[in-house]
Homo-oligomer: A and B are copies of this chain.
Amino acid sequence: MADIDGAVREGRRERKRRQTRERIETTALKLFLARGFDSTTIEDITEAADVSKRSFFDYFPSKEDVVAAWQDGFAGELIAAVAAQPVDAPLVDVIETAINAALRATISDPQHLAIAILIRDTPALRARDQLKYAKLERKLTEALHARSSGAEGERLRLSVLAAAVVSMLRIGGERWNGAQNDLPLEEFASGMFHELWAALADLGVLARRHTSAR
């Protein structure tokens, strides 16, 4: 059952497990969008996906986690895009490029908008959505750190940078969803980044002024 290069091919067992997981996820999302999150019971999901109710919990620890798993896509794209860049590229460019790539990948999913609305209108999912940002911040820090010298003073700097970026993402998301948008996403993002770097430059001045004034 080993491949030519020694890797283990996906056997029937793995394949079925993956398929079942996907079936549960897509079925659940479809039902959530159709009837709402709270009004969809786990039994509804398992019945529609043709597995036992008990099996649901072999794949997802809770109903919310189905949506969270879907949301993790963005973070995955992001860290991949960070890792894909030349090691000598400037930090700021790396981030802007990576975020743009992740955004493109995310909005290419046709379900994206509907799920965003579902989350916005479902308290239990909104709470979970906040966690997504926290996780994203951690992962981005991690990805940036993997590229860097590994010096220990670096850590805080990268965390702060990641926090600033994620903060911009959050605000950008609100603005994007809030007002109706005439701009294409690329331009909108570009504008947000412009604001972000300006804000950081500005804060840098404040910080330096404070440090030297003593």
Contact = CB atoms under 8 A, between A and B. Distances in A.
Interface in A170-211: 170-171, 194-211
Given A197-B210, A197-B211, A205 B203 contact: no
A206 B164 contact: no
A207 B211 contact: no
Given A91-B206, A206-B92, A156 B200 contact: no
Interface of A: 90-93, 127, 130-131, 133-134, 137, 153, 155-157, 159-164, 166-168, 170-171, 194-211
Given A92-B210, A211-B198, A203 B156 contact: no
A167 B162 CA distance: 9
**7 tightest Cβ-Cβ pairs between the two chains A and B:** A204-B204, A163-B167, A200-B207, A157-B199, A197-B207, A92-B210, A163-B163
Contacts of A206: 90-92, 200
A89 to B, nearest CB: 11
Given A130-B134, A156-B171, A200-B203, 8 more contacts: A90-B210, A92-B207, A92-B209, A130-B130, A137-B167, A153-B195, A198-B211, A204-B207
A210 B170 CA distance: 22
B90 A156 contact: no
A201 B211 contact: yes
